[in-house]
Amino acid sequence: MRPVRLAPSILSADFSRLGEQVEEALDAGVEVIHVDVMDGHFVPNITIGPLIVAAVRPIARRYGATIDVHLMIEQPERYLADFARAGADILTVHVETCPHLHRTVEAIRGVGARPGVTLNPATPLVALEEILPYVDLVLIMSINPGFGGQSYIPTSTDKIRRLRAMLDAIGSAAELEVDGGIKPDNAAEVAAAGASLLVAGSAIFGGPRSVAENIAVFRAALGN
């Protein structure tokens, strides 16, 4: 089994030093950069758009890293091509924003990106059942999306376990990503439940330690 990987969320980065901080994470061996896109409609916060993805792109490419874009926006299909052109390798949409989810997933492949789907903490896994065979990534939100620095919702662990069983039952090799409130002290529990990719924002870009030190603390907690 591959060791669980970290996906630092740049939402908590210092945007005046974004390139430097992304590079520090990549230098520390990170292979995935998570980008949180919020529109002020689906979620209360407004964050970033394709311009920032395009700015991160040359740095990520230099390291062969994946740009993982989490779209917390209404009508995401309107922006898929823009984000793909900017450099998104993975485009993840919320089931709550996609009445024609299968069509949206096909549209993501159509723009040359890998499709991911995600759901809010109160949305049941059954909402994903029919789409699982078509996606490359499933993201469990372990907080209500909108802001970094919130606390992990404890019932997420059981949801991760149940999703792992659903993926295994259909022989899916999709990535199982978890996002929200991931810290060194719960990372091992989340990994043991079946996650393959852990998003961490404030625990990597916040606090007094350097990005590299924060990543090292995660690695120690995960035993990798």
In the complex, the residues that contact Zn ion under the rule CB under 5 A are 36, 70, 179
Our finding on whether 179 is near ligand DX5 (CB under 6 A) is yes
Name the segment binding ligand DX5 (CB under 6 A); options: 87-95, 100-108, 157-165, 195-203: 195-203
179 given a catalytic annotation: yes
Contact 184, 215 (CB under 8 A): no
Contact 60, 26 (CB under 8 A): yes
204 membership: H or E segment, kind and range: helix 202-205
Our finding on whether 214 is near ligand DX5 (CB under 6 A) is no
CB of 142 to Zn ion, least distance (A): 10
How many binding residues for ligand DX5 (CB under 6 A)?
21
Our finding on whether 145 is near ligand DX5 (CB under 6 A) is yes
Nearest to 121 by CA among 180, 35, 193: 180
What's at 68, amino acid-wise?
Answer: D
What's at 149, amino acid-wise?
Answer: G
Q: Which listed option, ligand DX5, Zn ion, none, makes contact with residue 181 (CB within 5 to 8 Å by class)?
A: ligand DX5
d(CA 205, CA 215): 9
Q: Which listed option, Zn ion, ligand DX5, none, makes contact with residue 180 (CB within 5 to 8 Å by class)?
A: ligand DX5
Q: x/- string (CB under 6 A) for ligand DX5, residues 45-84?
A: -------------------------x--------------
Kindly write down the DSSP assignment for every residue of 126-172, as one continuous string.
Answer: GGGTTTGGG-SEEEEESS-TT-SSPPP-TTHHHHHHHHHHHHHHTT-
d(CA 221, CA 187): 7
Our finding on whether 156 is near ligand DX5 (CB under 6 A) is no
Our finding on whether 150 is near ligand DX5 (CB under 6 A) is yes
Closer CB to ligand DX5, 77 or 184, in the complex = 184
CB of 182 to ligand DX5, least distance (A): 5
CB of 59 to ligand DX5, least distance (A): 19
With b for 16 or more beta-carbon neighbours within 10 A and e for fewer, the 204-215 pattern comes to: bbbeeeebeebb
Closer CB to ligand DX5, 128 or 139, in the complex = 139
Q: Which listed option, ligand DX5, Zn ion, none, makes contact with residue 214 (CB within 5 to 8 Å by class)?
A: none
Closer CB to ligand DX5, 12 or 156, in the complex = 12
d(CA 188, CA 96): 29
d(CA 95, CA 107): 14
Positions marked active-site: 36, 179
